[in-house]
Structure 1
Amino acid sequence: MSRHEKGRPLPSGIDEPVFSEPWQAEAFALTVALHEKGFFSWGEWAEVLSAEVKAPGAAQDGSDYYDCWLRALEKLLAAKGVAPQHDVDQLAAAWQRAAHATPHGKPILLENDPECGQ
């Protein structure tokens, strides 16, 4: 996104991207979309995210903020019955296997999981 996209400049002093990795932006967008669809309130979200950020082992400097964000999203969706943790774990494992099975320079596709369709 450019500094002046949609006529809204970034606040002064922000010269770096807001997200350091594409997955962080995707997790953020997914959270907003799920809230807009009514899966959870912002109050619920704030409570679960706050618990993750304050959890033992969380980085004091906030460097793991989006890791906390993702864990909070997974926990909230599991609690709501939208995406049970077991299903999330299985899908994550499938993507990991697909990544390892994909030749360098090629797109990682879930179909590349050697266990896909078994």
Structure 2
Amino acid sequence: MNQTITKDATQNTETPISNSKKDMVKTENSPKQAFYDFYLDEHQNIACRRLHFAGSSFGLLGLAKSVKTGSAKPLVKGIAAGYACAWVGHFFFEKNKPASFKFPLKSFASDFRMYNDVLRGNLSLRDRKFDKAR
């Protein structure tokens, strides 16, 4: 393994820096990725994923209409429709509790990451065997 030693002037310590590409590969998941992996495990059922995608779309449409009209009412309706779709997906298809009950902010962020992965083709709404997000 090739290493170069650098000195940290502020702490007067030496830190080894690897020159090998193998050493640059990250072996541990970040906390965000670990939660997203958990989130995807909670969304294995294709009907649940489809309902989440529809719900997120309703939320985004509500946001767009709120911006256009200057009224908060469409946003509230979009959020309500979004959560209704998601919860139906969990209670009737996935048969689990939504992650948003325990982790509301992380789940909200992961839902839009999942939405983005569907749009980019990294997650399938047809069959999980086509998933590339992991």
Where on the TM-score scale, by shorter chain, does this alignment land: which range? under 0.3
The structure whose residues are more often helix, as a share, is: 2
Larger Rg: 2
Is the strand fraction higher in 1 or 2? 2
Return the TM-score normalized by structure 1: 0.27
State the TM-score, normalizing by the size of structure 2. Answer: 0.25
